[in-house]
Amino acid sequence: MSVSPRMTIGEAARRTGVSIKALRFYDDLGILDVAGRSEANYRLFTEDVISCVELIRRLQQAGLSLRQLQAIVRGQERGEDPVALLRRAYAEALARTERELATLQARREALRARVAPIFATVTRLLLRAKPLTVAEIAATSGRTESDVTEALDALEPVERDDAGRVLGLGITLVPTPHHFRVDGRELYTWCALDTLMFPSLLGVRAEIESPCRSSGSPVRLTATAEGVSDVEPPSAVLSVVPIEHAPNIRTAFCDHVHFFRSAADAEAWLAEHPGGTVMPVAEGFALGRGFAEEMR
């Protein structure tokens, strides 16, 4: 009887295009078959790992979470019908997506009501790369200082200096990993999606540079109101997570939205964020443009 050749976890990671960390996580969840252990107690795999990882990837793209895949495997081990398990998982994924869409719409409406009256004004003024006073914002927006103050106070993540001047609202003067250069001025944004939203909202051309969340290698591109270009590397993606009802959108959403050099580079992040997903930069721009329309 022939025995299938076995490969180390490093070779399995290379063959499947996912990280070693992701393979370990899949094994810990029980959704990946390990052929055994080496004398040094390292995981060993057969060629089956390639098709198994591809199946996991396809099911995730269809909307199933890793925890749902774990539940399906455990249900099969108990003798349950795998087809029924899969149908139930798809139904749960669809219901979850519909809830997330409803939450997103509610969040958009709430955000628009609180922020839209001054959001474009504040972010456009921040393009000057100087702190903003309430008086400047009021004069430019045509609103009273008390209205501006009330709107800013309702936004927990607004960044201000000790004098109360605004330093950041999506676009920021405070350094972050997301570099946003406009007309030679060095600015930053709160997250990867912001770099794609503001060129559309403000009608500017921005040179963007941000590190890959997993490797630290740079992702670079140019964004305008019309779209993105010069994406390097072309395989770059960005992560997004469901928008929760939270007073601080920066910690609930922005802090989880990153660039990755490729979908494979995002595998470990996806394994640790079951509700998250990744998308090509062009799709991220379309999503950002939708947000920009809401804030006009």
How do the domains of the chain map onto residue ranges? 1-61, 91-295
Catalytic residue among 52, 212, 254, 265: 254
Give CA–CA dist 192/223, Å, rounded.
12
Any residues with CB less than 8 A from the CB of 29 and at least 6 apart, and which?
66, 67, 69, 70
Question: What dotted CATH number matches 91-295?
Answer: 3.30.450.410
Cβ count near 231 (within 10 Å): 18
Catalytic residue among 52, 191, 212, 265: 191
- Measured CA distances, 15 to 19, 59, 245 (Å): 10, 19, 40
pLDDT tier at 286 (50, 70, 90 boundaries)? very high
What pLDDT sits at residue 1?
Answer: 43
Q: Return the structure tokens found at 243.
A: 């928008």
Catalytic residue among 194, 212, 230, 265: 194
pLDDT tier at 67 (50, 70, 90 boundaries)? confident
20-34, 126-140, 179-193, range with the lowest pLDDT:
20-34
The continuous run of DSSP H or E covering 231 comes out as strand 228-232
| pTM > 0.75 | no
pLDDT surpasses 70 at 247: no
254 is a catalytic site residue: yes
Give CA–CA dist 270/189, Å, rounded.
23
What pLDDT sits at residue 110?
Answer: 63
Single-letter amino acid code for the residue at 294 = E
1-10, 21-30, 48-57, range with the lowest pLDDT:
1-10
Is CATH 3.40.50.150 the classification given to domain 1-61? no
pLDDT tier at 115 (50, 70, 90 boundaries)? low
